[in-house]
Amino acid sequence: MDNEKLLYDISELNSLFRESASIQSLLNKTVEMVAAHTKSDVCSVYLFNNENNELVLSATKGLNPDSVGKVRLKLGQGLTGLALKEMRPICEKDAASSPNYKFFPGIFEERYDCFLAVPIARGISKIGVLNVQRQKGKSFSDSDITALEAAASQLADIIENARFLMAMHEPYVEEKSLDVLPEQLKFVRGKIASEGFAYGPAKIADMKKNLASLLHRTYDDKYTLDDFEKAVANTAAQLEELQERVGQKLSDAASLIFAAHLVILKDKYFIGGIIKLIESGENPPVAVIRIAKEYIDNFATSDNSYMREKIQDIEDLTVRLMNNLLSENQEHDKFKGHIIIARELYPSDLLILSSEEAGGIVLVGGTVTSHLSILANSLRIPMIVSDTFELLELPDNTPMLIDAEIGNVYVDPSDDILEKFESQQKARLTLDRQRLSVKPITETRDGTRVHLMANINLLADLKVACELQCEGVGLYRTEFPFMIRRNLPTEAEQFITYRKLVEMVSGKPVTFRTLDIGGDKTLSYYHDIKEQNPAMGLRSIRFSLQNKPVFAEQIRAMLRAGAGADLRIMFPMISSIDEFCQAREVVFESLETLEKQGIAHNHRPKLGIMVELPCIVDIIDDMAKEAEFFSIGTNDLIQFMLGVDRTNENVSGSYLPHHPSVLRALKKVIHAAGQAGREVTVCGDMAHQEKYLPFLLGIGLRILSIDPRFLPRIQQAISNIDIKEAQSVAESMLAQARITELTQALG
Ligand code: PEP
Ligand code: MG
């Protein structure tokens, strides 16, 4: 085998790919090239789809070309599947006699006895398999294996870069209609991302599929320029209405999601390009598709995630515009009351679904960032994450019940299940009404006063919090309005949102947390840094301190909004006293300029920190000399103390709030705050888990900040606790060094 030449040519493919941006032609050239260099009769590339664990024949030289896209193997199936499963080369002199051989009629593979397959992978990520085959007697040598492995590893990089494009070029497959629902699809268990229940007709929301169906259609009916212009006007009117609705429902999010679509709709190159094609005789639907595809292809090659996000806008807009042009699917509230089954969701998609009043969401195969689930909670949309991909193939309108309190999805539920669900629902409503009779003051059984504050993500949460008489806002996660938007909110925009919050709380304390982005919550419009380990990267206060103008604008907006209020500002992820002082300096500078400019503002906000990093625990006494209050973010504190990703299901068993070190750290912080006369709150999820309440109160915690939904339940639970008993519970828990015993003690 001409190894060096092969490698050289493969790397040439890389530049070829950059120029052509067509993955199929790239794969076709690859198989030609590898077959020629290796003097093989056959060379094939199978690509792996890790969503359904399937390898698909994607290009071949030597096998029946019609079998491309049709031959599919499960991981481990056949010699090819085995190579990928075991991540090793498989070399056979007589493939057909191997127990792993899988015969496919019609691809004419049986003529080639000598077989060599190597996995295409990047690290442990499986990408596909590269195969070569020869006729009897021409078996492959060790050096062939080495060369093919080297080629596969180069190919891996190229394919990985092109994955996105491949999705765009995937042949459109007519939606399968599942006439008979397989038994295993009737009941699916998933992971809860946002609690609640919903029953309604299913709707598959797969934008790519919608667009793919439009791309692969023929348009026999003739349309005119006038039809196109009407479609543009209708589209604009719909978008404006949607924008208005989002604005009313979620004023802080008054995101410009639909405005972004409107901008494209007014873009002279986009619309102008389409009109030019129509004027030169092209049928309008074809013209729309051609220009949209040009835009998508262009954006897809960009390294910039903001640009790639734009693809979504174009896809979304194109589908809407085409539907208006073809007068199809013009219903306005296409998601209303539906259970949406989707593959991938951005925060902005959640807003769209919420503004159209979708009933619930099943996210298939997607990863749910902690903030996506917090947002779904704020928007009160029940959401379940499932890895049952077959759900995406359900016909639209299949009745579906989701119970996102325990993570169950029932497809076409029987009358029995529905009845049970309805009676449960009634019982729940009665219970909720009882729970709503919350008292303005929370006390333990022995009359010790405890303060319940609210965690707020969107202003919508605050309405509930106020109804439930919370004693103030203990944590306002200011990143949400930043995350749902497509551009950075200005100081004026932030001021409006923050002021609303302050007014709604009317006189009670309000704690603003400064921007806590980075990690899994990136702002695509602002930074596009790829980090090896984003959880420990440029995030939170580090991001703010490195982006001082953004930070200072936020601080000014807070100070202005907090005029006359009990304003507290806290900094997330603080790792040292020095860092706190740097952040505090920005507040001081902002106070000075506001003063000079004569703008109304809060003159003396309290400045505190989130205790989320273990490194703070040992210096907490010194920290208490500077920071005026502490808020313990147990979600991150546990993650970083135990080295367990809080969003990773695989290690959720190790995410233990009652790990002895966590308990002792909590005790230390609460004690130090008490000694220094500083207020201390727990605002992580541990505060709303009833089983931890005796411990937390027992070590002296008196302020909890929780999602408003939990207020009635937590108030009730606290009223059953006796402080003396809680203290002895806490003491005995602190004396334990073993997790097993603590787990047992907690029941
Ligand atoms: C925490 O880390 O406990 C916390 C409240 O912050 P967030 O969940 O927003 O990271
Ligand atoms: Mg946190």
Under 8 Å between Cβ of 336 and 357: yes
> Residue holding tokens 């006895």?
113
Highest mean pLDDT among 50-59, 160-169, 359-368, 395-404: 395-404
131 compared with 460, residue with greater pLDDT: 131
Q: Tell me, yes or no, whether 180 lies in a domain.
A: no
- Which residue, by CA, sits nearest to atom 9 of ligand 1? 477
Cα dist from 571 to 15, 350, 478, 618, whole Å: 46, 27, 11, 18
Is residue 192's pLDDT more than 60? Answer: yes
Identity (one letter) of the amino acid at 248? Q
Report which bound ligand comes closest to the CA of 705: 1
Per-residue confidence (pLDDT) for residue 261, from 0 to 100 = 77
Same domain, 116 and 207: no
DSSP state of 54: E
Q: Tell me, yes or no, whether 715 lies in a domain.
A: yes
- Report the 10 Å Cβ neighbour count for 675: 11
Q: Which domain holds residue 548?
A: 446-746
| Mean pLDDT computed over 725-744 | 96
Using the 3D structure, point to which of 138, 169, 200 is the last residue of a domain: 169
pLDDT band at 173 (very low <50, low <70, confident <90, very high): very low
pLDDT tens by residue, 497-511 = 899 899 999 899 999
What's CA 701's distance to the chain center, in Å? 33
Per-residue confidence (pLDDT) for residue 427, from 0 to 100 = 67
**CATH code of the domain containing 664:** 3.20.20.60
Report which of 117, 113, 110 is spatially closest to residue 82, judged by C-alpha positions.
Answer: 117
| Mean pLDDT computed over 582-609 | 97
Per-residue confidence (pLDDT) for residue 421, from 0 to 100 = 78
Ligand 1 centroid to residue 733 C-alpha, Å: 24
Under 8 Å between Cβ of 294 and 311: no
Is residue 177's pLDDT more than 70? Answer: no
- Which residue, by CA, sits nearest to atom 4 of ligand 1? 633
Which of 683, 705, 707, 710 should be mutated for ligand 1, with most atoms under 8 A from CB? 683
pLDDT band at 231 (very low <50, low <70, confident <90, very high): very high
Is residue 731's pLDDT more than 50? Answer: yes
| Mean pLDDT computed over 643-672 | 93
Residues flanking ligand 1, CB < 6 Å? 475, 477, 516, 612, 633-636, 683-684
| Mean pLDDT computed over 280-289 | 94
Per-residue confidence (pLDDT) for residue 21, from 0 to 100 = 44
15 compared with 593, residue with greater pLDDT: 593
Under 8 Å between Cβ of 207 and 320: no
Per-residue confidence (pLDDT) for residue 265, from 0 to 100 = 83
- Which residue, by CA, sits nearest to atom 8 of ligand 1? 635
Atom of ligand 1 nearest to the CA of 685: 3
**Least-confidence region, from 318-332, 549-563, 581-595:** 318-332
Is residue 430's pLDDT more than 70? Answer: no
Is residue 675's pLDDT more than 70? Answer: yes
CA–CA separation, 558 and 339 (whole Å): 38
Total number of domains in the chain? 3
Per-residue confidence (pLDDT) for residue 171, from 0 to 100 = 45
Which of 514, 516, 655 should be mutated for ligand 1, with most atoms under 8 A from CB? 516
Same domain, 669 and 704: yes
Is residue 23's pLDDT more than 70? Answer: no
Per-residue confidence (pLDDT) for residue 257, from 0 to 100 = 61
Q: Tell me, yes or no, whether 203 lies in a domain.
A: yes
Same domain, 399 and 515: no
Catalytic residue among 371, 601, 658, 688: 371
Q: Tell me, yes or no, whether 109 lies in a domain.
A: yes
Using the 3D structure, point to which of 391, 424, 457 is the last residue of a domain: 424
Per-residue confidence (pLDDT) for residue 176, from 0 to 100 = 44
Report which bound ligand comes closest to the CA of 633: 1
**Least-confidence region, from 104-108, 339-343, 524-528:** 524-528
> Residue holding tokens 């807003």?
351
Is residue 255's pLDDT more than 60? Answer: no
Q: Tell me, yes or no, whether 439 lies in a domain.
A: no
Which of 456, 612, 646 should be mutated for ligand 1, with most atoms under 8 A from CB? 612
Under 8 Å between Cβ of 471 and 463: no
Q: Tell me, yes or no, whether 440 lies in a domain.
A: no
Atom of ligand 1 nearest to the CA of 684: 3
pLDDT tens by residue, 475-490 = 999 987 777 666 678 8
Under 8 Å between Cβ of 498 and 512: yes
Q: Which structure tokens are listed for 485?
A: 């938007």
| Mean pLDDT computed over 653-678 | 97
Q: Quick check: is 601 catalytic?
A: no
| Mean pLDDT computed over 338-354 | 80
| Mean pLDDT computed over 225-245 | 87
Is residue 248's pLDDT more than 60? Answer: yes
Is residue 168's pLDDT more than 50? Answer: no
Is residue 26's pLDDT more than 60? Answer: yes
Half-sphere exposure of 607 (CA within 13 A, CB side): 23
Report which of 641, 704, 646 is spatially closest to residue 670, judged by C-alpha positions.
Answer: 704
| Mean pLDDT computed over 234-250 | 77
* Buried b / exposed e along 464-475 (16+ C-beta atoms within 10 A): bbeebbbbbbbb
pLDDT tens by residue, 92-138 = 988 888 888 877 777 777 778 899 999 998 766 788 999 999 988 88
Same domain, 205 and 137: no
CA–CA separation, 190 and 405 (whole Å): 11
Under 8 Å between Cβ of 687 and 638: no
pLDDT tens by residue, 357-398 = 899 999 987 666 666 777 788 788 999 988 888 888 888 899
pLDDT band at 249 (very low <50, low <70, confident <90, very high): low
Same domain, 626 and 549: yes
* Buried b / exposed e along 350-385 (16+ C-beta atoms within 10 A): bbbbbbbebbbbbbbbbebbbbbbbbbbbbebbbbb
Which of 371, 461, 610 should be mutated for ligand 1, with most atoms under 8 A from CB? 610
**CATH code of the domain containing 309:** 1.10.274.10
Instruction: Report strand pairing: 442-443 vs 90-92.
Output: unpaired
Per-residue confidence (pLDDT) for residue 387, from 0 to 100 = 82
Atom of ligand 1 nearest to the CA of 686: 3
**Least-confidence region, from 25-29, 308-312, 559-563, 722-726:** 308-312
pLDDT tens by residue, 71-105 = 888 888 889 999 999 889 999 988 888 888 877 77
**Least-confidence region, from 73-82, 243-252, 331-340, 679-688:** 243-252
* Buried b / exposed e along 216-239 (16+ C-beta atoms within 10 A): eeebeeebeeebbeebbebbbebb
pLDDT band at 170 (very low <50, low <70, confident <90, very high): very low
Ligand 2 centroid to residue 43 C-alpha, Å: 51
Same domain, 462 and 404: no
Please give the mean pLDDT across all residues of the chain.
84
Q: Which structure tokens are listed for 739?
A: 């997790």
Per-residue confidence (pLDDT) for residue 201, from 0 to 100 = 94
Catalytic residue among 43, 91, 114, 683: 683
Same domain, 130 and 261: no
Is residue 14's pLDDT more than 80? Answer: no
Ligand 1 centroid to residue 633 C-alpha, Å: 5
**CATH code of the domain containing 78:** 3.30.450.40
- Report the 10 Å Cβ neighbour count for 125: 10
| Mean pLDDT computed over 413-432 | 74
DSSP sequence for 468-517: TT-SSEEEEETHHHHHSSSSPPPHHHHHHHHHHHHHHHTTS-EEEEP---
pLDDT band at 20 (very low <50, low <70, confident <90, very high): very low
CA–CA separation, 197 and 315 (whole Å): 30
Is residue 33's pLDDT more than 70? Answer: yes
Same domain, 486 and 404: no
Atom of ligand 1 nearest to the CA of 612: 2
Per-residue confidence (pLDDT) for residue 528, from 0 to 100 = 58
pLDDT band at 174 (very low <50, low <70, confident <90, very high): very low
Report which of 40, 60, 35 is spatially closest to residue 112, judged by C-alpha positions.
Answer: 40
Same domain, 87 and 194: no
Report which of 3, 1, 16 is spatially closest to residue 150, judged by C-alpha positions.
Answer: 3
Same domain, 495 and 544: yes
**Least-confidence region, from 255-269, 287-301, 588-602, 627-641:** 255-269
Per-residue confidence (pLDDT) for residue 172, from 0 to 100 = 42
Query: What percentage of residues in the chain have a pLDDT greater than 70?
Result: 84
Ligand 2 centroid to residue 611 C-alpha, Å: 9
CA–CA separation, 266 and 261 (whole Å): 9
Q: Quick check: is 371 catalytic?
A: yes
Q: Which ranges constitute the DSSP H helices of 539-576? A: 540-546, 548-561
Beta strands in 666-707 (DSSP E): 679-682, 703-706
Per-residue confidence (pLDDT) for residue 341, from 0 to 100 = 92
Per-residue confidence (pLDDT) for residue 71, from 0 to 100 = 86
Same domain, 142 and 268: no
Q: Tell me, yes or no, whether 463 lies in a domain.
A: yes
Same domain, 554 and 490: yes
Atom of ligand 1 nearest to the CA of 516: 9
Give the bridge partners for 385, in sequence order. Answer: 191, 363
Q: Tell me, yes or no, whether 434 lies in a domain.
A: no
Using the 3D structure, point to which of 424, 458, 481 is the last residue of a domain: 424
145 compared with 246, residue with greater pLDDT: 145
Q: Is 710 exposed, middle or buried (0-12, 13-18, 19+ CB in 10 A)?
A: buried
Per-residue confidence (pLDDT) for residue 304, from 0 to 100 = 62
pLDDT band at 204 (very low <50, low <70, confident <90, very high): confident
Per-residue confidence (pLDDT) for residue 576, from 0 to 100 = 98
Ligand 2 centroid to residue 633 C-alpha, Å: 5
